[in-house]
C-alpha cells in the first residue's frame, strides 16, 4: 500500500492511502498516523478513495489513531470509503464512532464549519 | 416411500455441486490472492454482491487469525481452504496445523471502548450465518464458515428459521 502525507490549509493533514489497508500494509499507515498524533496536529483526514479493501488490522489502526489524536483534542475524519470499506465499518458498528464524509472536500468543509 | 424420497432429497441437497481446495503459504501478502479467490467463488456460488463482500470479510479475518495468532507470522507454514458449494449455501473450511486455541480466550470487541482486540472474530460472526470450530482427529484446527444464499431458509442449531444474511 502506498501512504502519502500532505498538508492542506489551516493545519489540516491529509493521508492518502492507495491499495489494500490490511495486515500486510497497516503498519505503514499506523506509523504515519501515530507520528501526526505525537506532533499534536489539530486535524487529520484519512483519504480512503483509492483503498480497495480494509480489514480489522486497518480498522484497529484507525481506532488507535482516533484515540491518540483525541488526547490533545485532535480530530480524525475518514473520507472516500467505497462499498467494501464501508461494509467493514458497518459490520464493526463503528459508523458512529468515526466521523465519515463522502470525500476530501466534504471532510475539509466540516472541519472549517 | 415418501421417507426414501425425502432422504434422497436431503442427500442431493447436501452433496456439493463444486468443491474447490486451495493451499496457501502463511504470508500476509497472500491475503490479496485469497480475497480475489473468495470473490470469484462467492459469485460462482450464487451469492449477492453484499453477501460476497461478507464472505470475503469472514475468510479474510479467519485467514488473518491463522497467520497472526496460530502461526505467529511464521511465513514458512501453510494452511488450507476448502470451498463446498451446495444448493442453498456455501461452506468454507479453513484448516491449519498450529496448536489448538481456546475460543473462549478471545476478548470481545466493544465498539465504544475497544482498541480493536477481538474485532476480527466479531466481524466473522457478523458476516456469515454459522461459525464452527473443532480440532480434527489428526490434530488440525478446523474452522467452518457457512453462508446461505439470499432468500434461502436457514434452520440453525436452535431450530430458529431465518433467511441467509
Structure confidence at residue A5 (pLDDT): 95
Mean pLDDT, residues B116-132:
91
| Contact at CB, A88 and B123, closer than 8 angstroms | yes
Rg value, chain A, Cα: 13
Contact list in A for residue B120 (CB cut-off 8 A) is: 55-56
The residue assigned the cell 434452520 is: B155
Give the residue with greater pLDDT, A5 vs B159. Answer: A5
Class of domain B2-163: alpha beta
Nearest-CB residue to B60 (from A55, A61, A93)? A55
Using alpha carbons only, give the angle A85, B94, B144 rounded to the nearest 5 degrees: 85
B64 contacts chain A (CB < 8 A): yes
Report all structural domains of chain A as residue ranges with CATH numbers, in order of start.
Answer: 2-101 (3.30.750.24)
Q: How far apart are CA B128 and CA B151, in angstroms?
A: 14
Decide if pLDDT at B132 tops 70: yes
Please give the pLDDT value at position B65. Answer: 92
Mark yes or no for CB contact B53/A97 under 8 Å: no
Q: Return the closest-CA partner of residue B31 out of A112, A94, A25, A107.
A: A25
The pLDDT mean for chain A works out to: 95
CB contact under 8 A, A20 and B28: no
Q: Which of A53, A56, A94 sits opposite B120 (nearest CB)?
A: A56
Q: What residue segments make up the domains of chain B, in order of their start?
A: 2-163
How many interface pairs between A and B have CB atoms less than 8 angstroms apart?
70
Count H helices, E strands: chain B?
4, 7
* ipTM of the prediction: 0.88
Q: Could you read off the pLDDT of B31-82 as tens digits, one per residue?
A: 999 999 999 999 999 999 999 999 999 999 999 999 998 999 999 999 999 9
pLDDT of amino acid A113 = 80
In this model, does residue B109 exceed pLDDT 80?
no
pLDDT at A13: 96
| Mean per-residue pLDDT over chain B, rounded | 86
B25, B26, B57, B125: best mutation site toward chain A, by most A Cβ within 10 Å? B57
Nearest to A94 by CA among A58, A70, A41: A58
**Does position B114 have pLDDT exceeding 60, yes or no?**
yes
Q: Is B24 on the interface with A (CB under 8 A)?
A: no
- Give the per-residue pLDDT at B84: 97
A56 has pLDDT over 70: yes
Amino acid at each position: 500500500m502506498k501512504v502519502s502525507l500532505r498538508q492542506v490549509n489551516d493545519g489540516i493533514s491529509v493521508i492518502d492511502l492507495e491499495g489494500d489497508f490490511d495486515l500486510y500494509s497497516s503498519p505503514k499507515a499506523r506509523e504515519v498516523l501515530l507520528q501526526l498524533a505525537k506532533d499534536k496536529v489539530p486535524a487529520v483526514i484519512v483519504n480512503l478513495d483509492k483503498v480497495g479493501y480494509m480489514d480489522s488490522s486497518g480498522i484497529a489502526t484507525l481506532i488507535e489513531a482516533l484515540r491518540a489524536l483525541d488526547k490533545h483534542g485532535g480530530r480524525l475524519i475518514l473520507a472516500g470509503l467505497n462499498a467494501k470499506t464501508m461494509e467493514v465499518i458497518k459490520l464493526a458498528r463503528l459508523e458512529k464512532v468515526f466521523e465519515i464524509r463522502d470525500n476530501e472536500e466534504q471532510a475539509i468543509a466540516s472541519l472549517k464549519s | 416411500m415418501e421417507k426414501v424420497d425425502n432422504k434422497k432429497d436431503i442427500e442431493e441437497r447436501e452433496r456439493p455441486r463444486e468443491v474447490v481446495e486451495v493451499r496457501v503459504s502463511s504470508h500476509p501478502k497472500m491475503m490479496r490472492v485469497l480475497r480475489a479467490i473468495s470473490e470469484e467463488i462467492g459469485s460462482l456460488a450464487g451469492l449477492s454482491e453484499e453477501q460476497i463482500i461478507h464472505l470475503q470479510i469472514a475468510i479474510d479475518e479467519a485467514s488473518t487469525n491463522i497467520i497472526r495468532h496460530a502461526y505467529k507470522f511464521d511465513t514458512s507454514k501453510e494452511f488450507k481452504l476448502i470451498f463446498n458449494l451446495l444448493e442453498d449455501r456455501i461452506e468454507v473450511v479453513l484448516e491449519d496445523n498450529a496448536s489448538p486455541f481456546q475460543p473462549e480466550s478471545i476478548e470481545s470487541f466493544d465498539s465504544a471502548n475497544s482498541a480493536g482486540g477481538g474485532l476480527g472474530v466479531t466481524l466473522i460472526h457478523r458476516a456469515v450465518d454459522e461459525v464452527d470450530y473443532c480440532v480434527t482427529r489428526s490434530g488440525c484446527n478446523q474452522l467452518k464458515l457457512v453462508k446461505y444464499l439470499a432468500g434461502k431458509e436457514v434452520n440453525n442449531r436452535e431450530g430458529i428459521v431465518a433467511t441467509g444474511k
